[in-house]
Structure 1
Amino acid sequence: MSKYVLITGVAGGIGSATAQLFAEHDWHVIGVDREDEDIEGVDHFIQADISGADASAEIFEEVEEEEGRLDALVNNAAIQICKPVVEMTPDEWDATMASNLRSVFLGVRNAHSLLDPGGAIVNVSSVHAVATSSEIAAYAASKGGLLAFTRALSIEFSDDDIRVNAVLPGAVDTEMLRDGLERDYAGTGTTETVEEKMRALGIRHVIGRVGQPEEIAQTILFLADGDRSSFVTGQALTVDGGATARLSTE
């Protein structure tokens, strides 16, 4: 019998790679995104803004009608606004929190009754939850909140036999990373191309390169599949090529 997974932000780099990987392992994939995209591996696509309470409720009502249950929920959708805190507007701050944190609260609240015992929730946080950089404070705060929320959920949902874990990707070759490098949010003032910046960023990793979306997808699959990670809950699994292992003073 197929297992059912719902993945938010399915049109993004990590989301689409995750959908394809789950499909390759014979999962039935429900994909949600604000963009209307044809994503390989997605069996049931829902176009919606998951940060809205009504929209979130409607998503899971549709899943209940069409699939009837879930084995895993992958909260992957996120936005990133790169600018100094003093230049960020309240609306931009609120939009970041709504997309990256409020949407997860709404999703797990609405998905809870659909998740079978033995099910799993995987929250895609970020290394910015534990070590961050300049001009990305809202994103870091939202991902840090998601990490704390993950721990709390693992306790609350333990009696329901639902495991809750987080993945903390480092620099991964996605549109979000490339947009950040294009904006030069680190304030280097350089005229390097994005590709040059990508290579320089890779050198700063212990592994010597940035990650690929498929590598994060493998970690998500591991945490979602109860046959692979049945004794893992409340954890934050960092997948960053060793970036946070190295002292910045080296």
Structure 2
Amino acid sequence: MTEDLTGKRALVTGAASGIGAATARWLAAHGVTALVLVDLDGPGLAALDMPCEVLPFPGDVTDEALWDRIEAEAGPLDYAVINAGIAGGAPIATMTLDEWRATLSVNLDGAFLALRCATRLVRDHGAMVLTASVSGLKAEPGTAAYGASKAGLMQLGRVAAKELAPRGVRVNCIAPGGVDTPIWDQTPFFQEMIAQAGGDRAAAMAALSGAATPLARFATADQIAAQIGFLLSDAAGTITGTSLVSDGGYLL
């Protein structure tokens, strides 16, 4: 894409790695003037090398005080990418309430706080993208908390799209299927796959993607970042309140 974002300011949460870091790089490469970057991983934020002004805010996205500080210090926004999230999986029968709450807290409460802040800071005719998941659309065993959080996030995005439409602000979701990011390494079943592959993570990822998608491939973080960039861009100027599924055919 040839989108020129010179003079624009963007917020990205979960920016220290994976889709968040790739999206920050995409925005910087397309000329964004300032990036407001949020992540629990402070050293990871500090390690990012961006060719634009960076305002790092290390902290927990579920901390309302963090968002009060961002609202006071970040300045106006043109774009927001609400991406921070965690993985987790357990059957409903064995899931503890603490496990349920941990996933919903980050993936939905944290997203609400980020969205509320962005809604207050975004200028008219801006755009936002929320990172949801195909797990919010398709039921699979062991995904109750994660899937529910992402389904809730997509509905949150639709409501925000309707509330912000009078200001010309668009709100959409991206719903990836498998993406090769470090979030997989947090899941017990993928850790087991790596062990079964003799510690070869690449082989485990190839086996996982081959079994899970008709295209036999997972997306890279950079591919999802480019799709987020499209949703933010003027090329998507009439698209709002929708979820772009990018899953290699998993839903088919």
Instruction: Give the TM-score normalised by structure 2.
Output: 0.88
1:219 aligns with 2:230: no
Distance 1:172 1:50 in 2: 22
1:100 aligns with 2:107: yes
Flag the 1:185–1:209 CA change in 2: closer, same or farther, 3 A: closer
3-state SS of 1:214 partner: helix
Q: CA deviation at 1:185?
A: 6.7
1:192 aligns with 2:213: no
Counterpart position of 1:59: 70
- Offset from partner CA, 1:33-63 (integer Å, 9 cap, x none): 0111222327221101111222212122110
Give yes or no for contact 2:108–2:152 (8 Å, CA) kept in 1: yes
- Offset from partner CA, 1:147-180 (integer Å, 9 cap, x none): 1111111111111211110000110111112332
Flag the 1:16–1:79 CA change in 2: closer, same or farther, 3 A: same
Q: CA deviation at 1:21?
A: 0.8
**Any residues of structure 2 matched to 1:117-196 within 5 Å, and which?**
117-180=124-187, 183-184=188-189, 191-193=196-198, 194-196=201-203
Distance 1:12 1:175 in 2: 8
Distance 1:132 1:174 in 2: 22
Give me the identity figure in percent: 33
Give yes or no for contact 2:89–2:142 (8 Å, CA) kept in 1: yes
Distance 1:86 1:208 in 2: 32
3-state SS of 1:243 partner: coil
Counterpart position of 1:35: 41
- Offset from partner CA, 1:187-209 (integer Å, 9 cap, x none): 99x93354333112222323221
Counterpart position of 2:251: 244
Flag the 1:125–1:82 CA change in 2: closer, same or farther, 3 A: same
RMSD: 2.1
Q: CA deviation at 1:117?
A: 0.9
Counterpart position of 2:214: 206
Counterpart position of 2:57: 46
Please, which of 116, 124, 130 is the counterpart of residue 123 of structure 2? 116
Q: CA deviation at 1:29?
A: 1.6
Distance 1:93 1:132 in 2: 16
Amino acid at match of 2:55: H
- Offset from partner CA, 1:90-114 (integer Å, 9 cap, x none): 2221121111111122122222232
3-state SS of 2:141 partner: coil
Distance 2:191 2:151 in 1: 20
Instruction: Give the TM-score normalised by structure 1.
Output: 0.88
3-state SS of 1:44 partner: strand
Amino acid at match of 2:135: H
Q: CA deviation at 1:142?
A: 0.1
Give yes or no for contact 1:173–1:213 (8 Å, CA) kept in 2: yes
Matched residue pairs, number? 238
Q: CA deviation at 1:120?
A: 1.0
Deviates more, 1:92-101 or 1:72-81: 92-101
* Consecutive unaligned residues in structure 1, runs of 5 or more: 246-250
Flag the 1:187–1:131 CA change in 2: closer, same or farther, 3 A: farther
Distance 1:12 1:187 in 2: 23
1:18 aligns with 2:23: yes
Flag the 1:35–1:186 CA change in 2: closer, same or farther, 3 A: closer
Counterpart position of 1:248: none
Q: CA deviation at 1:88?
A: 2.4
Distance 2:148 2:165 in 1: 26
Counterpart position of 2:3: none
Q: CA deviation at 1:244?
A: 1.4
